[in-house]
């Protein structure tokens, strides 16, 4: 394998063989191919693309760079869930306990926040005592005993992707459809589930800015899953505006608890019920997506989903005693913002709000950065809602030493209030590999 030749071949629009791609990934993972050559190859892919066969070969090579998790000792159909990442996307924290309460074993490995997109592991870390680092044996035992475990993805799972994603993040090559599709699906294959529900985000607050690109990514990932023997139910959903009303780590845990208690933001609740329904269906506990959704609603109404979240938190060493008693987020740094005029919420810009939370210390610019898990913001009015002058629109949860007035001005500017009552779509498309 000659890396320079493979870079030139892709640069000039050629098609690599599966063996060439495997050689490149094995060489990179072993440290024989240096970062600068791998980065140049990624940039060539960014401009030239990959064929379906090349993307499948890349996915297989990355999935094979570490061991595949063996979930066979857990009875039942194991269902994973993945979002391509957005703002206020608390769906995993809501859907995992709903699906587990419905009898679908949930062995969930999640990533950390990066840039303006949140990560489930950081949100879970906001819960006092919660251990996100479980050994594989502990992880499996917990799923067997409690039907659910939510932990951080260890470095052994897909080491090639961990290296490549960090390299892409530093070299302007994240936003490539075949590189995203192979990155996501190699991790899903390595994580060992039988089925996966994919939520492909589309809009200003997502990697994929337009529907055409998001639908192409959805189709590519569905095909990669099917080729690997995994059933895929996929959605393209809106990320023009934030999904939930909470942005930040502990505030998103609070909103997840609210949705599991029958409240929370309407968009987050609606999408969570649909996705949980798809997980229940993929797990063989419902015949149709509609039946799955009805079961998801019943799990919320009966309190069983919230009980399952508490059970998971307790099993992982966390404190669940605050649930139903008080919010997890400390309230002493709260700073409220009020509407300056009557009207409707015409628009909410997701990246601007996520940047405010990052500038309070609630996000990660580089993967080594520390995160303040207690800071965040909460919208009290959803997009399209009527507002009266002087009503509370949002609250920032900051801490001493932050320029709260300036941050609040920026947050307020991201929420446009005017005379128009706009309609905000939520789900654009759905695909089920079983029906393809
Ligand atoms: N999420 C991933 O896991 N990989 C990508 O390349 C982009 C988003
Ligand atoms: Ca970057």
pLDDT tens digits for 70-82? Answer: 999 999 999 999 9
Distance CA(92)–CA(213), nearest Å, equals 23
Active site residue 389: no
In short, whether 184's Cβ falls inside 6 Å of ligand 1 is yes
In short, whether 162's Cβ falls inside 6 Å of ligand 1 is no
Q: Is-contact 108 151, C-beta < 8 A?
A: yes
Distance CA(123)–CA(132), nearest Å, equals 10
> pLDDT at position 154, please?
74
Closest CA to 179 of 203, 207, 154: 207
- Considering only residues 85 and 325, tell me which one the structure prediction assigns the higher pLDDT: 325
Residue whose CA is closest, atom 7 of ligand 1? 180
> How far is Cα of residue 264 from the mean position of the Cα atoms in its chain?
18
The model carries a pTM of 0.94
Q: Quote the ligand 1 centre to 183 CA distance (angstroms).
A: 5
pLDDT tens digits for 159-208? Answer: 999 999 989 989 999 889 999 999 999 999 999 999 999 999 999 999 89
Atom of ligand 1 nearest to the CA of 165: 6
In short, whether 183's Cβ falls inside 6 Å of ligand 1 is yes
- Cβ neighbours, 10 Å, residue 143: 24
Active site residue 146: no
Which residues share a beta bridge with 347?
A: 416
Q: Which of 108, 168, 231, 308 is catalytic?
A: 168
Active site residue 144: no
Task: Output the six-digit token pair for 271.
Answer: 């999408």
Active site residue 161: yes
pLDDT cut 90: percent of the chain above it: 90
Q: Quote the ligand 2 centre to 172 CA distance (angstroms).
A: 7
pLDDT tens digits for 356-403? Answer: 999 999 988 777 788 999 999 999 999 999 999 999 999 999 999 999
* Residue to probe by mutation, ligand 1, list 62, 114, 172, 183, most atoms within 8 Å of CB: 183
- Cβ neighbours, 10 Å, residue 213: 18
Q: Quote the ligand 2 centre to 173 CA distance (angstroms).
A: 9
């Amino acid at each position: 394998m000659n890396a320079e030749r493979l870079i030139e071949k892709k640069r000039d629009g050629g098609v690599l063989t599966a063996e060439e791609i495997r050689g490149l990934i094995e060489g990179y993972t072993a440290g024989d191919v240096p970062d600068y050559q791998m980065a140049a190859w990624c940039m060539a892919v960014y401009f030239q693309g990959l064929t379906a066969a090349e993307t499948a070969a890349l996915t297989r090579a990355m999935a094979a760079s570490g061991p595949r998790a063996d979930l066979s000792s857990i009875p039942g159909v194991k269902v994973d869930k993945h979002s391509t990442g957005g703002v206020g996307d608390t769906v995993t924290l809501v859907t995992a306990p709903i699906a587990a309460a419905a009898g679908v074993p949930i062995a969930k490995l999640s990533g950390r926040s990066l840039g303006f997109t949140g990560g489930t592991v950081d949100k879970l870390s906001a819960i006092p005592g919660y251990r996100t680092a479980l050994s594989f044996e502990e992880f499996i035992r917990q799923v067997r005993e409690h039907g659910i475990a939510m932990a951080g993805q260890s470095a052994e799972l897909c080491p090639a992707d961990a290296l490549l994603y960090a390299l892409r993040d530093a070299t302007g090559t994240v936003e490539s459809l075949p590189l995203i599709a192979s990155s996501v699906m190699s991790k899903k294959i390595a994580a060992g589930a039988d089925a996966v529900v994919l939520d492909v985000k589309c809009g200003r607050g997502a990697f994929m800015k337009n529907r055409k690109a998001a639908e192409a990514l959805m189709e590519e990932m569905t095909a990669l899953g099917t080729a690997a023997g995994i059933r895929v139910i996929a959605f393209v959903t809106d990320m023009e505006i934030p999904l939930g009303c909470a942005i930040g780590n502990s505030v998103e845990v609070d909103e997840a608890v609210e949705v599991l208690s029958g409240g929370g933001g309407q968009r987050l609740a609606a999408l969570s019920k649909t996705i949980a329904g798809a997980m229940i269906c993929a797990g063989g506990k419902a015949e149709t997506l509609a039946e799955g959704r009805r079961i998801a609603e019943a799990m919320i109404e009966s309190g069983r989903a919230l009980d399952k979240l508490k059970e998971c938190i307790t099993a992982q060493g966390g404190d669940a005693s605050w649930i139903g008693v008080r919010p997890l987020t400390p309230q002493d740094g709260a700073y409220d913002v009020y509407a300056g005029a009557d009207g409707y919420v015409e628009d909410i810009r997701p990246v601007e709000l996520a940047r405010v939370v990052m500038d309070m210390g609630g996000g990660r610019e580089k993967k080594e950065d520390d995160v303040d898990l207690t800071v965040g913001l909460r919208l009290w009015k959803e997009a399209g809602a009527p507002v009266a002058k002087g009503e509370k629109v949002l609250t920032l949860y900051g801490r001493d030493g932050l320029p709260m007035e300036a941050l609040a001005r920026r947050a307020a500017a991201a929420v446009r209030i005017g005379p128009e009552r706009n309609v905000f779509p939520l789900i654009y498309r759905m695909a089920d590999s079983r029906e393809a």
